[in-house]
Chains A and B, each alone.
Chain A
Amino acid sequence: MSIASPINLILLSLFAVVIYLQFRPKAPVSLPKGPAPVVYRTFVPTTLLEFNGEGERGVYLAVRGRVFDVTPGKNFYGPGGPYENFAGRDASRGLAFQSFDKEMLTEDLHGPLDDLKDLEPEQVENLQSWEERFLEKYLVVGKLVAEGDPEAPKS
C-alpha cells in the first residue's frame, strides 16, 4: 500500500482545508458608518418651509426660534397628520394656544417673526411645557431668524 492512495489524498486535502480556514488572515470586524450628522443651520421662514415633509426631506418645525427635527413623529407632524399645519413653520403661537388652525401661523414669511408678546401667563406655561417635551424627544437642528436679520444666511 502506498501512502498516495485516494483515501489518504482525500483526508490530507481535508486537513489542508481545515488548516487554511484556521490560519487564513482575517480582517478585523468593521461596522457600517452611521448616518452623517445633520449640520446645524440658521433658517429663515422661507427656507424652513422646504422641510414640511413633502418629498424627500424631513419634517422640521420651529418653537421660539429653535428648529426641531420632528421626522420621527411624522405621523403627527407630517402631511396628513393632525398637526400638519405646523410642518415647516413657526409653531410657537399654535402650541401656546393649543390650536392647530392656520390662523395661528405667521402669514407673512418675509416679515418679522412672531414676538409672542401678547400671550397670557397660562399660554406661556403651555408653550414652555411643549418646548420641554420637544427638547426631550427631538433634536434641535437649527435656529429660526427673520429675513434680513444679521444672523440670517445670505442667499
Chain B
Amino acid sequence: MASGNSILVQLDNLVAEVFADWSTSTTIIAGALVSFLVFLFVNSKDPDIHPFLLARQSTAFFVRQPGETAGYRSLETPHGFPLRAGLNVKEPGAPKWTSGRKGDLRDIWKTAVRGPVGDDGQSTGKAGKIYTVLGRKAIEHQLDQITQEMNVIGKQLQSFKAKTVAVCLTDSVEHLATIFAGAFYGFRTIIIPHNLEPNALSTLLKKSEADVLIAEAGALDLSLVAKSNDQLSHVIWVAKLGSRHMDWNDVPADVQGRLGVSVWHELVDEKQDLEGLEVPSWEPNTPTPSVTTVWQSASGERELIEYQPENLVSAVAGLIYSMPRNQRFGSSDLVLSIDSLSRSYPLCQIMSALFQNASVALNSVAGEGVDFALATVGVSPTVIISSSSTMANYHEKFMKPHSGVLSSLARWVHSRKLDAGCMPSHGLLSQVASIGPTAELSLDKLRLLCVSHRFDADPKGRLTSAQLTDLRIFTGARVVYALTGPRVAGAISQTNVFDYRRLSGPSHFGPPLSSVEVLLTGVSESNELEGQLTVSGPAVVSGKTSLPVQARITDSNTLDLC
C-alpha cells in the first residue's frame, strides 16, 4: 500500500514538476498544436466517392471460357441484368414506373429543342443554345433556327430522292443539322472527315455509294470527285460567312447536266417561309437510318463504320449514366468540343449534351490534334471534349515546363487533396497554380474534361496518371479518360470521374461503359488477365467486335492497354 502510494506521489510530483515549467513559449506551442488540430478538423472532407468503389470498378462474371477472361461489366449493369440499350424516353405524363422507349436521334433533337422539363411535363428551364466558335468570336444559334434549316434541307434532300448523304464539313451547325435531318427525313448519313485529300474523299464516296454530297464551298475540286462517282447526283455547298456573296452555283463543264449544285444558305433563305420552326412529328418506334463514320487507323487505312441508331442511343445512354447524377451535363453547362464530330466519341458526347439540354459549342478547327490553348478561346466552356493527343501535346508544351516554386507548392498541396479523394476547389491556391499555363485561357468555369484515346493511336499520346493529375490541378476540372475503338459507338470504357488516384505509368481507361461488356481472348495460363480486347453489347455494331490490341485488366478491375 505504502509503496503504491509512493509511486503515485512520485508521479504526481513529476507531473507537477513538468507543468511547473509552463511558460509563454509553452503556451505558443500548445496554441499552435490546438489550432493545427482544429484546422485539420475543419478542413477534413469526405472523399468524393467511397474508396472501395474505386478499388473494384467493374464486376467479373463467375464463369469464363477456356482461353478467355470472364466478361467484365460496369457496376451499374451487373451480370444477369440487360446492358443499357437506350435513352429511356418517356412521353410527358407517362406514369413513373413505366419503362421508356429506347429512343433515337429524333428524340435527342426534340428533347434539346423542348428544353428541360419536370416529371409532369412542365418546362423547368430554357433550352440550350449552340455556338460556333470561329477563332476568337463565337456565334450564337437558336435551336429553332437550326430546326428550320434542318427542315428546309431535309425536304430538299427528299425531293432529290436522296438515300445516302455524305457530309464533309468542319464542325458546324450545318454538320449537326444534316445528321439530325437524316433521322427525320430518312436518309443515311456518311460523316467524312473534312481534311481529306480529294482522292481519298472520292474513294470514300464511291465506297459508301453517296448520292448527295454536302461540302464546304471552294474546298473541293468537283470535277475530280464527280469523275469517279457516277452515283453522285447533287452537291450542296456550305459557304462560310465571309464568302456568301459569291456565286457558288457554278457547275464545272464536264459534269454539267448530271450533277445538280445548290447552296445551303440560299436554300434556307428561299424556303424558310415555307417551313415551320417545329420539329417534325413522327411515329414512335419507326426505324431511322444509320449514321456512318470513318475510322482512320494508325496505318492510314480508312474504314467506313455504319452505326445503327440503336448503337448510337445505347452509347449516348452509356456515356450519360457513366457520370454520377451531380456530374452529368445540365442546362447550365456549355459543352465545347475541340475534337471532330466525325469521330464517334465527340459525336456521342455532343448528342448526350443535347439530350441533357446543355448548350453546345462547336469549333471549326476541331480535330484529333489541335492546339488546346487556341481552340478554347472565344467561349468560356464548363465541359471540354478533346482527344488524348491534343491533351498530351498541351501538357508537353505548357504544363511540364511550368515549374516555379509557387506552382510546385500549390501542385503539392493539391495532389495531397487528390490523394485524399477530394477535388481541390477553385480557390486562391489554384489561382496561383494556374498563373502560367492556363492564364491565357477562358477556363474559369471549366469543370470537366472528357478526353478520348483511340486504341490504335500513337502510344506517345497516351496520357499518364501524372499528366491527368496535372490536368486536374492546373485546370481545376475533373477529368474522364475514355478508350475508343472502331465499331463501338461512344467509348469502350471510361475512367470514373472521381478516380483521382495517382498511379505510376500510363493511366488505365476505367471500367467498361454500361452499354458494353468487355472480355479478353487468347489469354495464357500464366497471365490470365491479359489478352486481345473483345467488346460486345448494344453499343457495338452487329453486337460484338474484336480489336487487334492486347489489353489487360488491372487490380482495380479497370481496362488498360499493354
A residues with CB within 8 A of B: 1, 3, 5-8, 10-12, 14-15, 18-19, 22-23, 26, 28-31, 33-41, 139-141
Contacts and interface: CB of A to CB of B under 8 A. Distances in A.
A63 B65 CA distance: 19
A80 to B, nearest CB: 26
Given A30-B55, A139-B62, A5 B32 contact: no
Contacts of B56: 31, 34
Contacts of A35: 62
A3 B62 CA distance: 65
Interface string B23-39: 10110011011001100
A31 to B, nearest CB: 4
A22 B33 CA distance: 13
A81 B416 CA distance: 57
A140 B63 contact: yes
Contacts of B64: 37-40
Name, among A3, A12, A15, A29, the residue most crowded by chain B CB atoms within 10 Å (CB to CB).
A29
Interface in B100-119: none
30 contacts: A1-B21, A6-B17, A6-B18, A7-B19, A8-B23, A8-B26, A10-B18, A11-B29, A11-B30, A11-B33, A14-B33, A15-B36, A18-B37, A22-B40, A26-B419, A28-B51, A28-B54, A29-B51, A29-B52, A29-B54, A31-B55, A33-B555, A34-B60, A36-B528, A37-B60, A37-B63, A39-B63, A39-B66, A40-B66, A141-B63
Contacts, number: 82
B97 interface: no
Given A8-B25, A26-B419, A37-B64, 4 more contacts: A3-B25, A6-B18, A14-B33, A23-B416
B556 interface: yes
Interface string B57-76: 00011111110011000000
B22 interface: yes
A37 B70 contact: yes
Given A7-B22, A15-B33, A28 B62 contact: no
B414 to A, nearest CB: 14
A7 B51 contact: no
A31 B26 contact: no
B90 interface: no
B501 interface: yes
Count class of interface residues, chain B: 35 or more
B36 A7 contact: no
Contacts of A34: 56, 60
Given A14-B33, A140-B63, A30 B556 contact: yes
Contacts of A26: 419
Interface in B514-562: 528, 555-556
6 A-B pairs with the lowest CB-CB distances in the bound complex, closest first: A5-B21, A29-B51, A37-B70, A1-B23, A37-B64, A31-B55
Contacts of A12: 29
Name, among B37, B63, B64, B556, the residue most crowded by chain A CB atoms within 10 Å (CB to CB).
B63
Contacts of A1: 21, 23, 25
Contact of B62 (A6, A7, A37): A37
B33 A8 contact: no
Name, among B26, B60, B65, B555, the residue most crowded by chain A CB atoms within 10 Å (CB to CB).
B26
B29 A15 contact: yes
Contacts of B555: 30, 33
Nearest to A26: B419
Contacts of B40: 18, 22
Contacts of B26: 5, 7-8, 11
Contacts of B32: 15
Interface in B140-191: none
Contact of B55 (A5, A11, A29, A39): A29
Contacts of A7: 18-19, 21-22, 26
Interface string B285-301: 00000000000000000
A142 to B, nearest CB: 9
Contact of A38 (B21, B33, B62, B416): B62
Contact of A37 (B18, B25, B29, B61): B61
Contacts of B65: 39-40
Contacts of B25: 1, 3, 8
Contact of A5 (B23, B60, B69, B528): B23
A117 to B, nearest CB: 30
